[in-house]
Amino acid sequence: MKPAPILLFSLLLLVSSCLSPAKLVDMGNYDQAIDVSVQRLTGKKKKKAKLVKSLEIAFEKATRQDMRMAESLEKEGRPENWERINDLHRQIGRRQSKIEPLLPLVDENGYKASFQFVRIEDLERKSRENAAEYFYSRALTLLDQAKKGDKTAARDAYGELQQLDKYYRTYKDRDKLEQEALDLGAVHILIKSENASNSVLPKNFEHELLQFSTGDMETTWRKYYNNPLSRNAFDYIVVVKMVNIGISPEMVKEREYVDYKEIEEGWDYVLDQNGNVMKDSLGNDIKIPKKIFVTANVLEVYQNKVATVSGRVEFIERQSGNVLASENITTDAIFENYASTYKGDRRALSEDTKRRLGNSPRPFPPDEALLMQAASILKPVVKQKIAGNPYLR
């Protein structure tokens, strides 16, 4: 098993902290050498000569390496290099900020270390401006493609505009362009229902089935609607199609059965062979519980009626009319009622029987009520099918 990234990073830090700065310099790990040296020198009155020298060498090598890389990237003349160039300039600035609090740095032998700081502010400003302009220009190009119907380009444009956060809090008309990218990159999905069965559904069935919040389903690039008048055009249509509607007959069953139980009632004395009551060690009469069987005759009336609704959720690309996928859905709305009476000893009754005592037969719900209950049960199933689909992109 490979170590987790965080654990691996922690191990690397631990190993680095155990190595001497001089060794880290030899390995080319200049910034690690700087961090270890700064940590060990900060707050110390006597600055160890080896640490001071290692810091001086590591700083000089790291700065020279970064400056050469930045200059080389700039000479290539490729706009996409400005991001990396700015990263290098910022790295140089951070490194100099670590050293500055220690200056002047004199070791225990009186040697004064020399650190050649780069005037990085102007260089960093220039690379920051150019990097920001690169991402901004990229976004504009992608938005032009997005206006021709390329939603992927719109989403890429949004990503490019997000990169500007690294450089400026506000930049030109970025906010306006981001909203434009969001609008062009989003897919708009209409959810509707259709009765494809040969049965008549209650008037409010569709409203109940689709009356759910879509806010928690939406993402940056997916917008759902359950009202066709919400907008002029949609990218996809999700049709919740009812195919089979079934209502069972109203069923009434009577059942007679006997509950019985062994219980304790009173006690019997324990007698010895002479017929005398036996005593325990304390002189008390020895008694044992007296067990008897009790029974109760139960009459149970059971009522049942079921509405079954089944269908499918179809994901349709609006422009082509192609059905991208179809997922089945089904549910049962069940009415059932138990009503029980008994004759005999109540102590014999089971817990199930006790729960049903006192109930009386109830009127059966109309078909419409059961179908509305089925719509309510189906609602979260439909929502889950739609939210979890991979077809709408």
Residue 9, pLDDT score = 44
Please report, for the chain, the start and end positions of each structural domain, with discontinuous segments joined by +: 16-118, 143-185, 247-307+331-374
Strands 287-317 and 323-344: antiparallel
Question: Position of tokens 């225990």?
Answer: 108
Segment (H or E) for 12: helix 5-18
Residues 6+ apart with CB under 8 A from 117: 96
Cis peptide before 104 (omega within 30 of 0): yes
**Cα–Cα dist 136/129, whole Å:** 10
Region of 92 (left: φ > 0; alpha: ψ -120 to 50; beta: rest) is: alpha
- What token pair was written down for 368? 């419409």
User: E-strand spans in the chain?
Assistant: 187-195, 222-225, 236-247, 251-269, 287-317, 323-344
Please list the residues that pair with 332 across neighbouring strands: 308
Strands 236-247 and 287-317: antiparallel
DSSP helix/strand/coil, 261:
strand
**Cα–Cα dist 212/227, whole Å:** 12
Q: pTM of the predicted model, to two decimals?
A: 0.75
DSSP helix/strand/coil, 52:
helix
Segment (H or E) for 41: helix 30-41
Contact between 210 and 201 (Cβ < 8 Å):
no
Q: Look up residue 277 and give its DSSP letter.
A: B
In a 13 Å sphere around the CA of 234, the CA atoms on its Cβ side amount to 25
Around Cβ 184, how many Cβ atoms within 10 Å? 21
**Cα–Cα dist 108/145, whole Å:** 65
- Of 177, 93, 91, 77, the C-alpha closest to 135 is 177
Contact between 332 and 306 (Cβ < 8 Å):
yes
R_g over Cα of the chain: 40
**Cα–Cα dist 380/163, whole Å:** 38
Residue 17, pLDDT score = 53
Residue 138, pLDDT score = 98
**Cα–Cα dist 177/157, whole Å:** 9
Contact between 362 and 303 (Cβ < 8 Å):
yes
Q: First CA to last CA across the chain, in angstroms?
A: 35
Residue 358, pLDDT score = 85
Residue 241, pLDDT score = 96
Residue 353, pLDDT score = 93
**Cα–Cα dist 41/56, whole Å:** 12
Helix axes 82-99, 49-76, angle to 10 degrees: 160
Contact between 266 and 290 (Cβ < 8 Å):
yes
Residues 6+ apart with CB under 8 A from 380: 212
Query: Each residue's pLDDT tens digit in the chain (393 positions)?
Result: 555 555 544 445 555 556 899 999 999 999 999 999 999 999 999 999 999 999 999 999 999 999 999 999 999 999 999 999 999 999 999 999 999 999 999 999 999 999 999 999 999 999 999 999 999 999 999 999 999 999 999 999 999 999 999 999 999 999 999 999 999 999 999 999 999 998 999 999 999 999 899 889 999 999 999 888 888 889 999 999 999 999 999 999 999 999 999 988 888 888 888 888 888 888 888 888 888 899 999 999 999 999 999 999 999 999 999 999 999 999 999 999 999 999 999 999 999 999 999 889 999 999 999 999 999 999 999 999 999 888 888
